[in-house]
């Protein structure tokens, strides 16, 4: 995981240095930083994630690039749903909530319409990929 951690740290640094803009393979993708509490460690963790919007809500998808398991950040937000989000230069507190049923389906499809790679991730795994909403507190 250290390669992924190194990549994430570089994205976080670039995001903060460029008011929310990043280049490379993430260029043009809508990026946020989510600061959360580790489910097991209790430590503060920052993850760069792509997002979409549903009204005032921020939508994130726990695809883990189609891996057979959910990403660690999903478990962190399920155990400790209060987090901080950075979008551009704006920073605010949110509460994460997993969606279900028709709402989950609608939000996944809306997210994948904006970023078609998520349809590829869906095809790569047999698990139902969680869709979370982050609502301002």
Residue numbers of the domain that contains 122: 2-136
Separation in Å, CA 87 to CA 15, 28, 48, 56, 63: 9, 14, 10, 13, 20
Q: What is the pLDDT along the chain (137 residues), one digit of tens a residue?
A: 588 889 999 999 999 999 999 998 889 899 999 999 999 999 999 999 999 999 999 999 999 999 999 999 999 999 999 999 999 999 999 999 999 999 999 999 999 999 999 999 999 999 999 999 999 99
CATH code for the domain of 12: 2.30.110.10
Of the candidates 71, 38, 60, 45, the one whose C-alpha atom is nearest the C-alpha of residue 135 is: 60
Q: What pLDDT, on a 0 to 100 scale, did the predictor assign at position 73?
A: 97
Task: Locate 89 and state its tokens.
Answer: 């230069």
Tokens 């919007």 belong to 53
Number of domains in the chain: 1
First CA to last CA distance, the chain = 32
| CA 109 – CA 87 distance, rounded (Å) | 22
């Amino acid at each position: 995981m250290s390669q992924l951690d190194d990549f994430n740290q570089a994205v976080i640094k670039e995001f903060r240095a460029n008011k929310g803009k990043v280049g490379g393979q993430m260029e043009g993708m809508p990026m946020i930083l989510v600061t959360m509490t580790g489910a097991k460690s209790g430590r503060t963790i920052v993850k760069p994630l792509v997002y979409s919007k549903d009204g005032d809500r921020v939508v994130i998808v726990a695809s883990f690039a189609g891996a057979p398991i959910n990403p660690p950040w999903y478990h962190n937000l399920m155990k400790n749903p209060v987090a901080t989000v950075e979008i551009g230069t704006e920073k605010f507190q949110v509460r994460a909530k997993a969606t279900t049923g028709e709402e989950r389906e609608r939000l996944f499809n809306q997210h994948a319409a904006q970023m078609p790679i998520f349809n590829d991730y869906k095809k790569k795994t047999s698990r139902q990929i969680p869709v979370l909403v982050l609502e301002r507190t």
